Amino acid sequence: MKLPSIDYKFWLYDWSKSIGEQKIYTNKNMIKYIIFDGNINSCTNEIFSIIKSDKIDNSSVLRVIDLIYSWGGKSGRMFYASSRGQLSPREDLEINEEALIKYMKGIELAMSGNPDSIEYFCEINGIGKSYASKHAYFWSLNSSNPLIIVDSKIAGSLGYKTINSLLNNFSYESIITSFKSKALDEFTDGNPSNVERALFAFHNHYFLNDNSGWKNNIENHDYEEALRLAKTLF
């Protein structure tokens, strides 16, 4: 796997400022479940504090789920949308005991650092691969093998237009291994999420979310590497 030749320390810092200080997303459907007046960094901190606590029950699990979707931005709004008289995925998860049990199994696997947790999260109505990796990432924070988020921006930063095309070429486990190795080289701590955040910030600066074109085609930090990626993506 070829990772971009960028200034990872610069882009990790940029994530904290350009991404982390943005206000979390909410809409009229979400405020039925959560009201959070803060930015992504503070939302991250609350998720961490709940997951690190000794008390993980249905209420705290649902709180983390709602925080994850607020943290994830506008793309998560469909989890709260109902259509044609059907329950929204969020409503269904709360009252569907079988779905909640499956989510709890995903938590159990994520907490042990097992990437199979993603498959369990994906089996739940309304949770696709991108958000499944977000759930897995957060619930794996205390494991000896923390998982990472793999979404369209990470796929794009690695030269693939979609998550599926990336995962058709590399397993989730091999991506984590590569990110861990790069984290040791760049940050000396082996935390793969530092590499993921740096790549996310780099991609977010230059490219559209769906990898179809430029978001900002103006020469800036690591512009030559952005040009190289652009030739691959579009």
Write out pLDDT tens, residues 24-77: 999 999 999 998 889 999 999 999 999 998 788 999 999 999 999 999 999 899
Owning domain of residue 60 = 8-233
| Cβ within 8 Å of residue 171, ≥6 positions away | none
Position 2 in a domain:
no
Position 1 in a domain:
no
Q: How high is the pLDDT of residue 72?
A: 92
Helix intervals (H) in 77-191:
89-95, 97-111, 117-122, 129-139, 152-157, 163-169, 172-187
Q: How high is the pLDDT of residue 210?
A: 95
Position 3 in a domain:
no
The pTM of this model reads: 0.92
How far is it, in rounded angstroms, from Cα 90 to Cα 69?
Answer: 10
How far is it, in rounded angstroms, from Cα 192 to Cα 176?
Answer: 7
DSSP letters spanning 92-125: HHHH-HHHHHHHHHHHHHHHTT-TTHHHHHHTST
Number of structural domains found in the chain:
1
Position 178 in a domain:
yes
| Tokens coding 36 | 């959070």
Cβ burial of 170 (10 Å; 0-12, 13-18, 19+) is middle
Low-confidence ranges of the chain (pLDDT < 70): none
Q: How high is the pLDDT of residue 55?
A: 80
Position 156 in a domain:
yes
Position 71 in a domain:
yes
Position 137 in a domain:
yes
Q: How high is the pLDDT of residue 53?
A: 86
Q: How high is the pLDDT of residue 106?
A: 97
